[in-house]
Amino acid sequence: MASWETYGVGLHNVGSYQSSGVPYITGSSNLAISGAATACQDQVQFPSVTKSITLINRGTTELRVHFANMKTETTTLQNFHYVSLPHNKDSVTLNVKCAEVFVSNPASTVGQYTLFAELTGIPPERMFELSGSGINEDNGSR
């Protein structure tokens, strides 16, 4: 069997990221506080590993995008392991591979967003868990 016959999609396969990504769009018009003491968060799980993600703030309240669950990983917020989009029409594009992302709303007003992702052909179960400094661990900076 020739080596090219066993070559396929994967996390370390450059071709999986060089080709155009499959479009994926989702969002929320009602990301709101669920309780007075905690911020609200959406978990977006992708049908395949991403090539890039673009988050657009569509409301008047600050939104945050991060790669760890802020409700179980307290260092996510304490150590600023997120990107903040404070204003309407603010956006950020992240060229990252991941199987999920979290969008949170720290304010007491409703948050609205659109999330666009470019997807690879890599199944999400092949993606490793994102963790470590800058994701969910204390990196020692204050």
Residue 46: both structure tokens together: 């992708």
- Residue 9 amino acid letter: V
* Residue 120 CB contacts under 8 Å (≥ 6 apart), including other chains: 9, 16, 17, 21, 22, 48, 49, 50, 51, 97
Residue 22: both structure tokens together: 């499959």
Position with higher pLDDT, 67 vs 136: 67
What's the predicted TM-score (pTM) here?
0.85
Q: Which of 2.60.120.770, 3.40.50.2300, 3.40.50.2000, 3.40.50.300 is the CATH number of 15-126?
A: 2.60.120.770
111-119 and 50-57 as β-strands: parallel, antiparallel, unpaired? antiparallel
- Write down the domain spans for the chain: 15-126
Kindly report, residue by residue over 18-56, the tens digit of the pLDDT: 788 899 999 998 887 655 445 688 999 999 999 999 999
